[in-house]
Amino acid sequence: MARAVAIKFALTSFLLAAVLTGAGPAAARALQGPADTTVSVAELPRQGRETFELIRQGGPFPYPKDGSVFFNRERLLPAYKRGYWREYTVKTPGSRDRGARRIVCGGPPRLPDACYYTADHYASFRKIVEP
């Protein structure tokens, strides 16, 4: 019990210090991994390149949840109004479900403003860049 109280106190102190020094949420996101690292389309796994091409064609998509709104709860992507970000499944060979790989795009469906790739189910993102 005393250990739990000590841990809570330490975390609270750390967060208070971050707020007072101006580090705040931006510093917390930096610790989680910035969304400003990039990956070229050619560097995506084959399934990622296929999904990216389907996005540009407007579908059809193999999974019913493809194209659904991504809420950016992790706050690793730039902040926009709800509905801006949409997620698409990148098939994972050998997986019985949708797996952990996704492409998340913002803006108009066929010509998105930006797309990001995650191989770890939203724990980190890499911006997709085209040559």
- Residue-wise pLDDT for 59-107, tens only, equals 999 999 999 999 999 999 999 999 999 999 999 999 999 999 999 999 9
d(CA 92, CA 102): 10
In this structure, the answer to whether residues 97 and 56 fall within a common structural domain is yes
In this structure, the answer to whether residues 85 and 69 fall within a common structural domain is yes
Q: Let me know if 121 is a catalytic residue.
A: yes
The answer to whether 69 touches 85, Cβ cutoff 8 Å, is yes
In this structure, the answer to whether residues 14 and 66 fall within a common structural domain is no
Question: Choosing from 50, 74, 87, 130, which is the catalytic residue?
Answer: 87
Q: List the domain range (segments joined by +) for residue 25.
A: 1-32
Question: Choosing from 43, 53, 121, 130, which is the catalytic residue?
Answer: 121
| HEC sequence for 14-46 | HHHHHHHHCCHHHHHHHHHCCCCCEEEHHHCCH
Q: Reply yes or no on whether the pLDDT at 29 is more than 70.
A: no
Instruction: Tell me what pLDDT residue 88 has.
Output: 98
At 57, which CATH number? 3.10.450.30
In this structure, the answer to whether residues 121 and 80 fall within a common structural domain is yes
In this structure, the answer to whether residues 83 and 27 fall within a common structural domain is no
- Going by C-alpha positions, the residue among 90, 96, 84, 81 that lies closest to residue 121 is 90
d(CA 71, CA 126): 17
